[in-house]
Chains A and B, each alone.
Chain A
Amino acid sequence: MKTVDVDRSLCDNHGQCAIAAPEVFRMNPDGVLEYEPTFDDSLLGEVEEAIDVCPVQAIFLKD
């Protein structure tokens, strides 16, 4: 199963990932990213989209 990892030293909390894949990424009320490293296989397409749209390219898939 694949998991997802955000490089926090790069992440700038733009929240574009939370628009692309809201079931995996969300912004807390302070505007800071929270996410689930593991996700259902059916969400893989959305996660790949989140990886694409991240303005600073901080999101990575791991096997």
Chain B
Amino acid sequence: MSTPTVDIPYLNISDPSFAMQSEELRNARAASWYARTNYGFAVLRYDEVSKLLKSPKLKQGSAQWPAHNGVHGGLFYDWWTKNLLVLEGEDHHRIRRLLNPAFSPRLIKDLVPRFQALANELIDAFIDKGECEFIRDFAEPYATRVLTILLGIPESEWPKIARLASTVGLALGVTFKRDLDKVEAAVAELYEYADELIKDRQANPGEDFVSRLVLASRDGDRLSDEELRNALVLLIFGGMDTTRNQLGLAMQSFIRNPEQWGLLAERPELGAKAVEEVMRTNPTVTWVTREAVEDFTYQDLFIEKGTTVHLFTQSSGTDPLAFPNPEMDLLGEHAPHYGFGGGVHHCLGHFVARADMSEALPLLASRIADPHLTGGDEWLPDSGNTGPTRLPIGFTRRS
């Protein structure tokens, strides 16, 4: 182990006021490719994040979360410790192979007209008012109803699904232990939904997404009913708040960059590029957590087995060493961002999220001009998954 020759920056990442897009972080990144934190290391630059994200010496770092919170059994525990995100090696790959075909980009293309109709329906409901609460009136119903469309659940069920998913989400918070009863009840209810869906599609298989999961098989292997329901709950849980938050952040990015909004309105074919640029410069998943599976040395840093390593997404996506012009630019050519993670745990739902957001953003831009904050916005902290929980905006109707 070598002694660092430069002062290694320190970041307090669990301080609620810790800011990703800050002078403090830019200075740290200019000084060093990594920082020490109150919770392992943070990797700040693009090249290093890119390499470590795919390193076989690191595994996904959230498996022990329930245990760290003193939770060692129960429905949530069983679900969490068997879900794709925390499985590793062949156990992970086997489930991923069986889930993959349902997520094929070719099949997701067929859903695009429904995404467009949904976006227009939501915009119709507020466009004459000249203002809206963007999360309540667009981002949340859009993100949730896309999931119900994908899963073939009646769209009218969306408020209930949203409520159950955010209750399970309490398991990620500091009050996990206190909320355990509520979390357990919500997992039980989501399981009932999932079991009903599975039974229905096993009896009446069609061409839809859940039927494809139910029928998925490879080399004579298939998903058990328990694996299916675990996966369905993971999709609801991993796909909803992420998309809602990312859409809220997209609106923030365009409010800060009005000329880019105008460009998108004129050129809707830039929708896919808009999603990439928003996620590179303003990602909801602010870091991806990894844990060292063995002792190893990377560049000048000795990383001991069991150490937590946070791979920073916004910081790497705007690293001047990789992006000489890091500002959001829909016409620029940029290296890929890591807002969907990377390596074996690369987001399974990214084709869905990319397809739905790249329809929503140009439709919004083509119908509302000059979006601006009107006050009263509320935000999640910057650690982990961020975004606005309330975003009142004003605008003018585009003629």
Of B93, B336, B350, which one neighbours A12 at CB under 8 angstroms? B336
Contact B101 A49 (CB under 8 A): yes
**Bound CA–CA A15/B195 (angstroms):** 32
Interface range for B: 20 to 34
Given A12-B336, A20-B100, A49-B101, are A55 and B346 also a contact pair (CB < 8 Å)?
yes
Of B93, B96, B101, B350, which one neighbours A55 at CB under 8 angstroms? B350
Main secondary structure of the interface of A (DSSP, over half): loop
Contact B54 A14 (CB under 8 A): yes
Interface residues of A in 28-57 (CB under 8 A from B): 29, 31, 49, 52-53, 55-57
Of B56, B100, B103, which one neighbours A29 at CB under 8 angstroms? B56
Taking CB as reference atom, which chain A residue is nearest B50? A12
Of B54, B55, B93, B336, which one neighbours A56 at CB under 8 angstroms? B336
Contact B104 A52 (CB under 8 A): yes
CB B291 to nearest CB in A, in angstroms, measures 16
Q: A13 near B: Cβ within 8 Å?
A: yes
Contact B346 A16 (CB under 8 A): yes
Contact B100 A14 (CB under 8 A): no
CB A26 to nearest CB in B, in angstroms, measures 12
Contact B346 A13 (CB under 8 A): no
Contact B106 A52 (CB under 8 A): yes
Q: What would 20 more interface pairs be, CB under 8 Å, given A12-B50, A55-B346? A: A12-B336, A13-B54, A14-B54, A15-B54, A15-B344, A16-B346, A19-B93, A19-B344, A31-B55, A31-B343, A52-B100, A52-B101, A52-B104, A52-B106, A53-B104, A55-B340, A55-B342, A55-B347, A55-B350, A56-B336
